[in-house]
Amino acid sequence: MTMATTAWIGRVTAAFLWRGWAVLVSLCLLAALWQVGHEVYGGLVLPSPMDTLRALGALVAEGVALPAALETARDALMGFGLAAVAGVLIGAAAGLSVTVGRLLEPLVRFFLGVPAIAWVVLALIWFAGSGLAAVFTVVVTTLPVVIIGAMQGARTLDGEVLDMARAFRAPLGVRIVDIYVPHILSYVFPALATAMGLSWKLAVMAEVLGGTAGIGEGLSLARVNIDTADAMAWILLALIMLLSLEGLVMDPLRRRLEPWRATRGQAARERRS
Amino acid sequence: MTLTPTPDAAASVLAWHDVSVSIGRTAILDRLTLAVPAGGLLTLVGPSGCGKTTLLSIAAGLLKPGAGRVETRARRIALMFQDSRLLPWRRARDNAAFGLRCQGMPRRQRLDAAQRLLESLGLAPEDGDKFPHQLSGGMRQRVALARALAIEPDLLLLDEPFNALDSVLRRDLQDLVRQTVTARGVAAVFVTHDLTEAIRVCDRLVVMAGPPGRVAFSTGFAQPADARDDAAVLAGLQALWREPAVAEALGATPGRRRVTA
């Protein structure tokens, strides 16, 4: 192993530990505040962090938590996946063609304006009992978000860069891979990250209201039993799942896709060097 | 320095014949005829809006003239723009290799070629790994020049390539372009609105007037470009300003000449 590689591994490990340390500190701060709240208002209003963890442990041990989590993940990810694929295709078409864009934009704004809870109600009426209500809600609510991202991306394609490609007689394949995709992706990716977070919340919401299997069902049961510790445990479970998805999938993906962007920290480092 | 108003060389690598272009009702070029000699560097100098860039766009095939025709014997034409127009999401080396990628050269081979070229144009070896936002304006233009040279063009079109750079960097890059043209024996058209820059780099100089764009004055220089020092450039500048056609085209009124004889 060369010196450079060793130094690189050292830097990466240090950065990871530093980030982990910062996360740990802020989590401890939150837990401390939470504990204070518990001691002021009592266990019925706000169970202590330890009680919540114990409740979560019990839910896992009873074999309730895992199937519910998988059910919610299925609803959220299926809806997200459908919205992502359809949204990118529709949005790119709308951005590249003025006619499609003109026709689609008012519709997208309209759908974006409909409150998510209204979609849940409609979905429960339309898809009662089929278990598709949550997926449907996720799709219709996140689709406009993705479409707008992709549309902005396709619209802001740099005509000068396209001219440059033309001057070099770039074949269509090269133009797609080297210009269209990276540019549109840079706009779509933040939209996808937003849609991912949204999809999780919407799936839980639809499950609470529809009483269908999942974390939402656990939450509504906890409400019926006025079991605050259980409710907090379910919330914690949903959070852990969403955060680990973001930390383990979205962030590495972002780092891989967008090293070319100058972040503020990066720019400052380069000015110093 | 003496001007040598030689006629256009018979062997031209590129020629515009009676080219007219208008945008809306505005005529940008009106029946312009101009030939670029094979080998050597021709500079086009003219005020803003006289159609210099339009001429290059026509030569590069980005624009069709409304009337007239353009003839070229060049098989590979490379164009360099005012701004670098690098792909922000590609490293310097990939950017320099873009033209080769368009020609279908295998990845390993084109990246090696691009890296060698970048280093020969004065970039450090590790700069090849950098993204455009990590490079200074001068370095970005060097990458753009590498991208143009990588395809081994027989005609190089440069559209005010160093406008955005400070004067020291400009001189560096002017010398670099001049050396490249001499070393590779490539024909080049260099568009600029800066007469000093034009004299520093050119073998042949064409002053345009307009709009609509037309050729106001055309000349060669007795002294070869690679031997011209600052004194020679200044002398050339004075000789050119004495030409009424040049003074008129570049907008100097008799009482307000920047350089007087």
pLDDT given for residue B165 in this prediction? 80
Nearest CA of chain B to the CA of A163: how many Å? Answer: 7
Percent of chain A with pLDDT over 70: 95
Nearest CA of chain A to the CA of B76: how many Å? Answer: 9
Which residue does chain A place closest to B151, by CA atoms? A168
- B133 to A261: CB separation less than 8 angstroms, yes or no: yes
- CB-CB neighbors (< 8 A) of A163 in chain B: 62, 85
For A118, counting Cβ atoms within 10 Å of its Cβ (0-12 exposed, 13-18 middle, 19+ buried), the class is exposed
For chain A, domains (ranges, CATH) are 47-255 (1.10.3720.10)
Nearest CA of chain A to the CA of B113: how many Å? Answer: 17
pLDDT given for residue B260 in this prediction? 47
pLDDT tens for B163-205 read: 878 888 888 888 888 888 888 888 899 998 888 888 888 888 8
Of A164, A169, A270, the CB nearest to B81: A164
Tell me the mean pLDDT in the region A153-171: 90
- B98 to A168: CB separation less than 8 angstroms, yes or no: yes
Q: Which amino acid is at B164?
A: A
Q: Where are the domains of chain B?
A: 1-75+167-261, 82-153
Which of A138-142, A209-213, B10-14, B137-141 has the largest mean confidence? A138-142
In DSSP notation, A76-136 reads HHHHHHHHHHHHHHHHHHHHH-HHHHHHHHHHHHHHHHS-HHHHHHHHHHHTTTTT-HHHH
- The dihedral through the CA atoms of A5, A8, A13, A16 has a sign that is negative
Q: Homologous superfamily of B1-75+167-261 in CATH?
A: P-loop containing nucleotide triphosphate hydrolases (3.40.50.300)
Tell me the mean pLDDT in the region A46-59: 92
- CB-CB neighbors (< 8 A) of B102 in chain A: 165, 168-171, 174
C-alpha angle A61-A65-A69 in degrees, rounded to nearest 5: 150
pLDDT given for residue B261 in this prediction? 43
Q: Which two tokens stand for residue B261?
A: 């004889």
pLDDT tens for B34-56 read: 888 887 889 999 888 788 888 88
- B81 to A161: CB separation less than 8 angstroms, yes or no: no
Please answer whether residues A195 and A80 qualify as being in contact, where contact means their C-beta atoms are separated by less than 8 angstroms. Answer: yes
Nearest CA of chain B to the CA of A205: how many Å? Answer: 39
ipTM higher than threshold 0.90: no
Please answer whether residues B208 and B46 qualify as being in contact, where contact means their C-beta atoms are separated by less than 8 angstroms. Answer: yes
CA distance A111 to B261: 72
Q: Which residue has the higher pLDDT, A211 or A40?
A: A40
Total beta-carbon pairs less than 8 A apart between chain A and chain B: 56
CA distance A141 to B34: 60
Please answer whether residues B246 and B207 qualify as being in contact, where contact means their C-beta atoms are separated by less than 8 angstroms. Answer: yes
Of A165, A171, A178, the CB nearest to B90: A178
pLDDT given for residue B158 in this prediction? 92
